[in-house]
A and B are shown apart, each in its own frame.
Chain A
Amino acid sequence: ETGVTQTPRHLVMGMTNKKSLKCEQHLGHNAMYWYKQSAKKPLELMFVYNFKEQTENNSVPSRFSPECPNSSHLFLHLHTLQPEDSALYLCASSQDHSQGAFSYEQYFGPGTRLTVT
């Protein structure tokens, strides 16, 4: 499956580093998402973008900064992270975020396994 790609696949960073995660979707979708997956919270929604506009921020700390330059690309900029931020970060896309009360199926990328030392 190559509909949604993510780079890098693995990342180890120190708490003072700055890094960025990249996501690209080739499905012609209008909505993109960042999720955090850890043992404590299986799938935790972080951010939602619909037509390049951020429509949801689930009380995510400011050390995570998303960027969506167009409907096909999504970035997650990381700085001064904490060890508890170590997790699998998943990007997903869908046709649209929602239409009224109806939610579209989401297509996930392979994820970036992040380790903060």
Chain B
Amino acid sequence: GQQVMQIPQYQHVQEGEDFTTYCNSSTTLSNIQWYKQRPGGHPVFLIQLVKSGEVKKQKRLTFQFGEAKKNSSLHITATQTTDVGTYFCAGGADKLIFGTGTRLQVFP
């Protein structure tokens, strides 16, 4: 069956450092979504990418959809303590498949 994997599983960074999480699908996707879950919270939709090679930015967050539409990345520039949480990608096909998530910890 379709699988969506994320790496790394965990990432600890010093505040101000950059952070990247990668998402890989076993099949071609029609769209990819990113969600953030704060500790003790629930997943919250961040953004959606649809086009091959698409890049979108939200302040310090940059999202990219691969040319083959099988992978995606989320890059955070100059992390802050408010970035702490688990970031999930979700690949869209005939249904939405959530990735395994990357837990980000930011030390002040």
A→B interface (CB under 8 Å): 1, 42-43, 45, 48, 56, 90, 92, 97-98, 100-111
Contact = CB atoms under 8 A, between A and B. Distances in A.
Interface of B: 30-31, 33, 41-45, 48, 50, 86, 88, 90, 92-96, 98, 100-101
A98 B31 CA distance: 11
A108 B88 CA distance: 13
Contact of A101 (B30, B45, B98): B30
A103 B92 contact: yes
A100 B100 CA distance: 24
30 contacts: A42-B86, A42-B88, A42-B98, A43-B101, A45-B95, A45-B98, A90-B42, A90-B43, A98-B94, A98-B95, A98-B96, A100-B94, A101-B30, A101-B92, A101-B93, A102-B30, A102-B31, A102-B92, A103-B33, A103-B93, A103-B94, A104-B96, A105-B33, A105-B48, A106-B43, A106-B45, A106-B96, A108-B43, A110-B41, A110-B42
A98 B92 contact: yes
B57 to A, nearest CB: 18
Contacts of B41: 110
Nearest to A1: B44
Given A43-B43, A90-B42, A109-B42, A103 B31 contact: yes
A105 B45 contact: yes
Contacts of B90: 103, 106
A90 B86 CA distance: 15
A13 to B, nearest CB: 21
A104 B43 CA distance: 15
Q: Which of the listed residues B30, B42, B43, B88 has the most CB atoms from chain A within 10 Å of its own CB?
A: B42
A97 B90 CA distance: 14
A1 B42 CA distance: 11
A92 B45 CA distance: 11
B100 A42 contact: yes
Contacts of B96: 98, 103-104, 106
A96 to B, nearest CB: 11
Contacts of B48: 105
